[in-house]
Amino acid sequence: MAAKFKADSRRWLTLEYRPLELEKQIRDFWKNNKVAERLEKLREKSNFGVLGYVEGPPTLNGVPHVGHARGRVMKDLRYRWKSMQGYSVPFWAGWDCQGLPVELEVERRLGVKNKRELLEKVGEERFIAECKKTLMKYWREWFNADQKLGVFINQDKAYWTYRDEYIEREWRYLKRAWEQGLLGEGYYVVAYCPHCQTSLSNAEVGLGYEEVEDPSLYFRLKVSNAENEYFLVWTTMPFTIVTDMMLAVHPETEYAKVRVGNETLILVKQRVEAVMQKLQVENYKVTETVSGKELEGVKYEYPFKDSVPRQKELDQQPFVHTVVCEDFVDVSTATGVVHLAPGNGEDDFLAAQKRNVPIYVPFDDECRFTADAGEFAGLFARDADSKVVDILRKKGLLLSVETVRHEYPTCWRSHHKLIWLARREYFLWTNRVNERVVEAAEKVKYFYESPKNRFLSFLKEGKPWCISRERVWGAPLPIWVCQDCEHKTLVGSKKELLEKALEPPSEDFELHKPWVDRLTLKCDKCGGEMKREPFVLDTWHNSGACPFARFTDEEFEKYVPVDFLTEGIDQTRGWANTLLLEHVILTGKAEAPYKAFLYQGLAQDAKGRKMSKSLGNVLEANAVLEKQSADVFRFYTLWKCSPVDTINFDLQELRKRPYQVLGTLYHLHRFFMQNAEYDNFNPKAHTLQWARENKALKPADNWLLSRLQKTVKSYTEKLERCEFNLATAELEEFVVDVVSRQYVPMIRRDLWSDDPQTLQRRLAVYATLWQTLKTLVLLFNPITPFLSEFMHQKVYRELDHSSPESVNFKDWPQPEEALRDTKLEQAFGTLQTCVALVYSARQSAQLKRRWPLQKAVVTAPEQVQDALKSLEDVFLELANVKQVEYAEKLAAFDEKEWASASEGNLQVLLHTRRNESLLGEGLMRDLARRVQSLRKERGFTPTDIMEAVHLAELDQESMKLVEPYLAEMAELVRTKKVYLHKNRAEVKADWHEYKLDNKKVFVAIS
RNA sequence: GGGCCGGUGGCUCAGCAUGGCUAGAGCGUUCGGCUGAUAACCGAAAGGUCGAGAGUUCAAAUCUCUCCCGGCCCA
């Protein structure tokens, strides 16, 4: 038997959608044909326009998980889409290489416990070599994930933040800051582990919260120049009273003066009752209330003046040992009066810095009090707690001391309680350019309100930026200090450094510790020897320098400010911030280095829990993509929720609807290809215009084309607004509802025929589908690049050899307004409602859809009638009725004769009585259905033509009814002839039994 | 402890700005139907005190307040 269709299409388009195989093919295709490289060149040459881009560099200290993969998908989506629109985008990779996370990873691998051990046992040179090795290990993971995902980022042009050429340009940022007086030395409070003798990053502090025991101390401080009046204060860190400088109250809250015996205590009003109960004071009376503001400037007697002589000196300075107002004071716990120790707390420190109060930090590297702390000298900070309590008790200032258990940060390695210490550090005085920073940030487009507000409110805090770190693997701070005259100089480049160096560097010199530390310079001022400040730079400064550091001057001019960036919401205080600060300092302008910034929500597991190693619920991108299709993954991550929302990643869900949508798109192509190839459809000859000229287009085709234009427009707008979930939903609806569910059933019968008389009509349908599916494939390309490329190769280039070599070289579709027909769209909406009503009425009367009925009556307003009349052919076909009548007003009807269904002002009546001819046709279609399923079961393809179909053991009456329709049935099921038998014995065949309305029927085919 | 986001059928989400029809959609379940591109599709049913409480209002998922739970960021 000759097949209707050529074998070709089946070779390309397998029966099933098998994305993993298809994606492998396409990956190879891209690689072998250098598609990504050629795409970049093509858009560069076309000179259409440039959109700057700079890669937010992933830190190479871990493997990418699905959340990272989601981010990469959004970046790639934007790149492919904008490229198709014609823009040239420098989509070049970048890697964040330095910093504490990398160091810790290496320390762990080398089995080193702390910094001191590291320096003694391993040495800086080897340590740095190990850091570089680690980078490459993780880089491979990221590279593989990108390959699997189909991210077209250019790896050859990647920047690496540890390389000399990058660091040099980072130094130029610092030089600009130095020249403007925005870089300098100062103190800053950092979390410090006394055991490991190192400061910890914020992230590390977050790792180590534990429940610990601390003293809970209520004490009082006497108001100067007042009889028996005291502030009531609470603390869990008694030792900080040694470094106490001020008391803070909340300015807008009421404070109470409480009379107890002949003494007065001052505390926040709302806590009086609770605190008195706590202190077991029964007889007390609130004598007066004052606002926090009124307490400002009140001086108090610092209790340790005798024990700590230095404090006695400081007492003379403005603000010292007085009350200040601060918004951060929490009035809902304790007494609402907090004591400030600027050397031991960040808020305290900032409060002091604001008022130029000196920072008193009498500690050595091991957190022991120095000689400057008088009686406390030599004591480890936390060991001073009991001595402090003793002195307070002796002076009669102690009210209560007990033990509390509470959550407190500890060192995640040694589990020691952390201490907050002000240390000498280098700062960018970003507070001085804060206005410009905020102004710049306000001009940026964020797409969604909430991350925007979050970012702006963070920026408005305008804190100085501490950029120095006492670590090893980082870009060195390029400041040298004269050992004689203390003159400082900032070196702006490697060249400058080598020129000024007193001795030539070793051959393996690079811009890292320990090499840079070995170079000493000659002082310009006094000719003395200059040594480098031993710090490295905050790794955030390192990555924040990239818009300038990763480009040449020329490229920087061309690409920065970049057009669009997207990173996780956790980068609000990270990269988004440092990019902005450094750019404002570098340029001196109120300008961000990015015009738009999309913050992405983070990823959690299917149950909404944070992904963590301890829970064992981390979904690694490479492991997931080993088994899951990249296209389905990409579609899923974009479709599931808004990009700013947290995504609860569920592999089960991934395999359902997203797979179905892509599967449907795939099968639509298969359907199209099978038919179009058979009829020798030629897209160049059989264009839409040709079809229109030959009047071969029907309303269904025009409707589909109109809906397509609407989709192109709306989808593009949604991409523009970064509403990726709504954009993909638009595609989903078009593929599943519009094309597959609605259009295909309307044209199916036209295509089923192979009559040469109706060839023109079939070609017109192919022209419509060609245009529609081809456009869809382009729209899908940024989301599902593999499937789009596959279809481009196997369908569009197959039928049209002039098509470009890759789908990526095509242009983005523009909506054609001329094809839009909103009236027709409305009419089809009406049609679909009516058809649904017919189905509903059929169901209520138990009339199968395949049974033709004589008549339907539609009751509806005139406009609706007109719409339906214009589409009457389609209605009759879908409703499977012979004729339709219209009425404007609902008439009474006989329920025995009519089935009805209604919705709003629409009603449909179906004539339920069937004459012999209708019964016969219905029966024929029932039988045909059985034959079709048998055909499928027996492995016939849709196009095989069978020799004979045998039906047996129908009752007398049924045989008589179906007889006139056997020829039509033969055509319908594609057989040469249909034979009716009374008895199975009449012919030797492989009989199959079917039930048909509770009667048996036997079917055989050959 | 502070700030932000979220809590709507078994699951995933829409609706909330600007209060107003019987609170929707998809998945899942059950029954029925349809089907030679499809892992699809159509109809019906079951399933919701819209996190809890209070307030404003003729009317609250929607506005206000308080609280609870989950998440993120920061202390």
Residues A330 and A381 in one domain: yes
Task: List strand B contacts in A 835-854 (CB < 7 A).
Answer: 836, 839-840, 843, 848-850
Q: Where are the beta strands (DSSP E) in A292-397?
A: 323-325, 338-340
Q: Which residue is nearest to nucleotide B35 (CA to C1')?
A: A929
What is the average per-residue pLDDT within A894-901? 77
Residue with tokens 């070709």: A8
C-alpha–C-alpha distance, residues A56 and A63, integer Å: 16
Q: Which of A520, A538, A556 is the last residue of a domain?
A: A538
Is the CB of A640 less than 7 A from some atom of nucleic acid strand B? yes
Closest nt by CA–C1' to A974: B36
Q: Which of A538, A560, A582 is the last residue of a domain?
A: A538
Q: What does the CA dihedral A377, A382, A384, A385 come to, rounded to 10 degrees?
A: 160
Using alpha carbons, select from A784, A659, A620 the residue that is nearest to residue A67: A620
Q: How far is the CA of A990 from the C1' of B28 (A)?
A: 40
Is the CB of A819 less than 7 A from some atom of nucleic acid strand B? no
Residue with tokens 């093919």: A25
What CATH number is associated with residue A269? Answer: 3.90.740.10
Is the CB of A820 less than 7 A from some atom of nucleic acid strand B? no
**Pair type for strands A229-235 and A263-268:** parallel
**pLDDT(A388) > 70:** yes
Q: Which residues pair with A902 in a beta bridge?
A: A907
Q: How far is the CA of A640 from the C1' of B69 (A)?
A: 23
Is the CB of A903 less than 7 A from some atom of nucleic acid strand B? no
Q: How confident is the model at residue A894 (pLDDT cuts 50, 70, 90)?
A: confident
C-alpha–C-alpha distance, residues A770 and A669, integer Å: 9
The active-site residue, picked from A540, A703, A770, A812, is A540
Spatial contact of A27 and A625, defined as CB atoms under 8 Å apart: no
Q: Quick check: is A4 in a domain?
A: no
Closest nt by CA–C1' to A939: B36
Residues A921 and A891 in one domain: no
Q: How confident is the model at residue A766 (pLDDT cuts 50, 70, 90)?
A: very high
What is the average per-residue pLDDT within A244-260? 89
Q: How far is the CA of A334 from the C1' of B54 (A)?
A: 29
Identity of the highest mean pLDDT range in A296-305, A361-370, A426-435, A451-460: A296-305
> Which of A687-701, A741-755, A777-791 is least confident?
A741-755
- As given in the structure block, the two tokens for residue A268 are 């926040």
Q: How confident is the model at residue A9 (pLDDT cuts 50, 70, 90)?
A: very low
Q: What DSSP designation does A357 have? A: P
Is the CB of A803 less than 7 A from some atom of nucleic acid strand B? no
Is the CB of A900 less than 7 A from some atom of nucleic acid strand B? no
Using alpha carbons, select from A733, A743, A887, A770 the residue that is nearest to residue A828: A743
So what's the pLDDT on residue A79? Answer: 96
Is the CB of A450 less than 7 A from some atom of nucleic acid strand B? yes
What is the average per-residue pLDDT within A961-976? 83
Q: Quick check: is A7 in a domain?
A: no
The active-site residue, picked from A98, A571, A628, A709, is A571
Buried-state track A413-426, b at ≥16 Cβ within 10 A, e below 16: beeebbbbbbbebb
Q: For A345-375, write each residue's pLDDT tens digit.
A: 888 888 888 888 988 999 988 889 999 999 9
Closest nt by CA–C1' to A840: B43
Q: How confident is the model at residue A904 (pLDDT cuts 50, 70, 90)?
A: low
So what's the pLDDT on residue A512? Answer: 93
Could you tell me which residue, A913 or A519, shows the higher pLDDT? A519
A312 carries an active-site annotation: no
Give the number of domains in chain A. Answer: 5
**pLDDT(A545) > 50:** yes
What is the average per-residue pLDDT within A949-957? 84
Enumerate residues 6+ apart whose C-beta is below 8 A from A777: A665, A787, A788, A791, A792, A796, A807
Task: List strand B contacts in A 366-425 (CB < 7 A).
Answer: 407
Q: Which residue pairs, CB below 8 angstroms and at least 24 apart, start in A380-388?
A: A380/A194, A381/A194, A381/A239, A381/A419, A382/A239, A382/A417, A382/A419, A384/A238, A384/A239, A384/A242, A385/A215, A385/A237, A385/A238, A385/A239, A386/A238, A388/A238, A388/A239, A388/A241, A388/A242
> Which of A31-35, A553-557, A946-950 is least confident?
A946-950
Q: Quick check: is A154 in a domain?
A: no
Q: Which amino acid is at A256?
A: A
Q: Where are the alpha helices (DSSP H) in A52-117?
A: 66-84, 100-110, 115-117
**pLDDT(A695) > 80:** yes
C-alpha–C-alpha distance, residues A263 and A244, integer Å: 24
Q: For A560-583, write each residue's pLDDT tens digit.
A: 899 999 988 878 778 888 999 999
Residues A356 and A214 in one domain: yes
**pLDDT(A454) > 80:** no
Compute the half-sphere exposure of residue A587: CA atoms within 13 Å on the CB side of its CA: 20
Q: Which residues pair with A257 in a beta bridge?
A: A266, A288
C-alpha–C-alpha distance, residues A218 and A400, integer Å: 5
A997 carries an active-site annotation: no
- As given in the structure block, the two tokens for residue A214 are 């601390």
Is the CB of A50 less than 7 A from some atom of nucleic acid strand B? no
Range of the domain at A982: 917-1005
Residues A801 and A932 in one domain: no
Q: Which amino acid is at A93?
A: A
- As given in the structure block, the two tokens for residue A478 are 């390029």
Using alpha carbons, select from A769, A720, A722 the residue that is nearest to residue A744: A769
Residue with tokens 């992230």: A203
**pLDDT(A6) > 50:** no
Instruction: Show which positions of strand B are touched by protein (CB under 7 A).
Output: 1-5, 11-14, 26-28, 32-44, 70-75
Spatial contact of A609 and A615, defined as CB atoms under 8 Å apart: yes
A34 carries an active-site annotation: no
The active-site residue, picked from A113, A525, A610, A869, is A610
The active-site residue, picked from A19, A30, A57, A465, is A57
A613 carries an active-site annotation: yes
Spatial contact of A535 and A469, defined as CB atoms under 8 Å apart: yes
Could you tell me which residue, A552 or A469, shows the higher pLDDT? A552
Q: How confident is the model at residue A340 (pLDDT cuts 50, 70, 90)?
A: very high
Q: How confident is the model at residue A270 (pLDDT cuts 50, 70, 90)?
A: confident
Residue with tokens 């605190």: A275
Q: How far is the CA of A724 from the C1' of B10 (A)?
A: 28
C-alpha–C-alpha distance, residues A238 and A688, integer Å: 85
Q: For A109-136, write each residue's pLDDT tens digit.
A: 888 876 777 788 888 999 999 999 999 9
Is the CB of A721 less than 7 A from some atom of nucleic acid strand B? no
Closest nt by CA–C1' to A407: B1
So what's the pLDDT on residue A863? Answer: 80
So what's the pLDDT on residue A254? Answer: 84
Using alpha carbons, select from A698, A814, A836, A717 the residue that is nearest to residue A767: A698
Residues A837 and A789 in one domain: no
So what's the pLDDT on residue A407? Answer: 67
So what's the pLDDT on residue A2? Answer: 33
What is the average per-residue pLDDT within A703-730? 87
- As given in the structure block, the two tokens for residue A336 are 């609402």
What is the average per-residue pLDDT within A515-537? 92
Q: For A990-1003, write each residue's pLDDT tens digit.
A: 888 777 766 778 88
Q: Which of A862, A887, A914 is the last residue of a domain?
A: A914
Q: Quick check: is A581 in a domain?
A: no
Q: How confident is the model at residue A617 (pLDDT cuts 50, 70, 90)?
A: confident
> Which of A252-256, A579-583, A931-935 is least confident?
A931-935
C-alpha–C-alpha distance, residues A502 and A203, integer Å: 40
So what's the pLDDT on residue A42? Answer: 95
Q: Quick check: is A168 in a domain?
A: no
Element (H, E) at A956: helix A956-962
Residues A929 and A886 in one domain: no
Spatial contact of A524 and A490, defined as CB atoms under 8 Å apart: no
Is the CB of A284 less than 7 A from some atom of nucleic acid strand B? no
What CATH number is associated with residue A740? Answer: 1.10.730.10
Q: Where are the beta strands (DSSP E) in A559-627?
A: 565-568, 597-600, 603-604
Spatial contact of A938 and A976, defined as CB atoms under 8 Å apart: no
Q: What DSSP designation does A279 have? A: T
Cβ burial of A995 (10 Å; 0-12, 13-18, 19+) is exposed
The active-site residue, picked from A92, A160, A473, A575, is A575
Enumerate residues 6+ apart whose C-beta is below 8 A from A394: none
C-alpha–C-alpha distance, residues A126 and A113, integer Å: 16
A571 carries an active-site annotation: yes
Q: How confident is the model at residue A4 (pLDDT cuts 50, 70, 90)?
A: very low
So what's the pLDDT on residue A7? Answer: 41
So what's the pLDDT on residue A912? Answer: 82
Is the CB of A21 less than 7 A from some atom of nucleic acid strand B? no
Is the CB of A73 less than 7 A from some atom of nucleic acid strand B? no
Is the CB of A810 less than 7 A from some atom of nucleic acid strand B? no
Residues A829 and A794 in one domain: no
C-alpha–C-alpha distance, residues A768 and A774, integer Å: 10
Residues A364 and A378 in one domain: yes
Backbone phi, then psi, for A474, in 5-degree steps?
-165, 170
So what's the pLDDT on residue A259? Answer: 93
What is the average per-residue pLDDT within A627-653? 85
**pLDDT(A208) > 70:** no
What is the average per-residue pLDDT within A210-218? 79
What is the average per-residue pLDDT within A320-343? 86
Q: Quick check: is A160 in a domain?
A: no
Task: List strand B contacts in A 328-357 (CB < 7 A).
Answer: 330, 332-333, 346-347
Cis peptide before A815 (omega within 30 of 0): no
Query: pLDDT averaged over chain A?
Result: 86
Q: How confident is the model at residue A202 (pLDDT cuts 50, 70, 90)?
A: low
Using alpha carbons, select from A146, A73, A63, A104 the residue that is nearest to residue A611: A63
Q: How far is the CA of A744 from the C1' of B17 (A)?
A: 40
Between vectors from CA A584 to CA A578 and to CA A589, what angle results, nearest 5°?
160
Task: List strand B contacts in A 651-710 (CB < 7 A).
Answer: 653, 656-657, 659-660, 663-664, 667-668, 670-671, 674
Closest nt by CA–C1' to A972: B36
C-alpha–C-alpha distance, residues A791 and A798, integer Å: 9
Q: What does the CA dihedral A835, A837, A842, A845 come to, rounded to 10 degrees?
A: -170
Residues A828 and A809 in one domain: no
Residues A760 and A832 in one domain: no
Q: Quick check: is A592 in a domain?
A: no
3-class SS string, A770-797: HHHHHHHHHHHCCCCHHHHHHHHHHHHH
Is the CB of A608 less than 7 A from some atom of nucleic acid strand B? yes
Q: Where are the alpha helices (DSSP H) in A478-614?
A: 494-500, 515-518, 539-544, 546-549, 553-559, 575-587
Residues A789 and A673 in one domain: yes
Residues A191 and A248 in one domain: no
> Which of A508-512, A598-602, A909-913, A989-993 is least confident?
A989-993
Spatial contact of A520 and A501, defined as CB atoms under 8 Å apart: yes
Q: Quick check: is A736 in a domain?
A: yes
What is the average per-residue pLDDT within A916-941? 81
Q: CA–CA distance from A856 to each of A32, A152, A585, A866, A914 (Å)?
A: 60, 56, 76, 16, 13
The active-site residue, picked from A76, A96, A563, A701, is A96
